[in-house]
Structure 1
Amino acid sequence: MKKISLLFMLLLLLAVMTPSHSFAFRCGTHLVHIGDRKWEVLQKCGPPDFTEVWEEKRLERVFGVPYGNWDSSLQTRIPFGAVVYVLIEEWVYSSGPTRFVRILRFENSQLVDIYTGDYGF
Structure 2
Amino acid sequence: MHLSHRISVLACVGFLFWSNASFAQSTYRCNSGLVSLGDNRSSVLQKCGEPESRHSHCRALTTSATTDATSVNVQTCVEIEEWTYNPGSGRLMTTLEFEAGRLSEIATGQRVR
What is the TM-score normalised by the length of structure 1? Answer: 0.66
Hey, what does 1:45 align to over in structure 2?
Answer: 48
- Which has the larger displacement, 16-25 or 3-12? 3-12
The 5-angstrom pairing of residues 25-104 of structure 1 reads 25-61=28-64, 81-104=73-96
The 5-angstrom pairing of residues 99-110 of structure 1 reads 99-110=91-102
User: Residue 9 and residue 97 in structure 1: after superposition, are their counterparts in 2 closer, same or farther (change >3 A)?
Assistant: closer
What SS is found at the alignment partner of 2:47? helix
How far 1:14 sits from its partner (Å)?
Answer: 5.4
Deviations 1:53-84, CA, capped at 9 Å, x for gaps: 1122211357xx98xxxxxxxxxxxx964322
More strand by share: 2
For these two proteins, the number of residue pairs brought into alignment is: 106
What SS is found at the alignment partner of 2:107? strand
| Distance (Å, rounded) in 2 between the aligned partners of 1:35 and 1:26 | 15
Which structure 1 residue ranges, 5 or more long, are not aligned?
Answer: 67-78
What SS is found at the alignment partner of 1:98? coil
CA contact under 8 A between 2:32 and 2:48: conserved in structure 1?
A: no
Which structure 2 residue ranges, 5 or more long, are not aligned?
Answer: none
Give the alignment's Cα RMSD to 1 decimal.
2.8
What SS is found at the alignment partner of 2:22? coil
User: Residue 85 and residue 97 in structure 1: after superposition, are their counterparts in 2 closer, same or farther (change >3 A)?
Assistant: same
User: Residue 17 and residue 50 in structure 1: after superposition, are their counterparts in 2 closer, same or farther (change >3 A)?
Assistant: closer
Task: Give % identity.
Answer: 30
User: Residue 37 and residue 60 in structure 1: after superposition, are their counterparts in 2 closer, same or farther (change >3 A)?
Assistant: farther
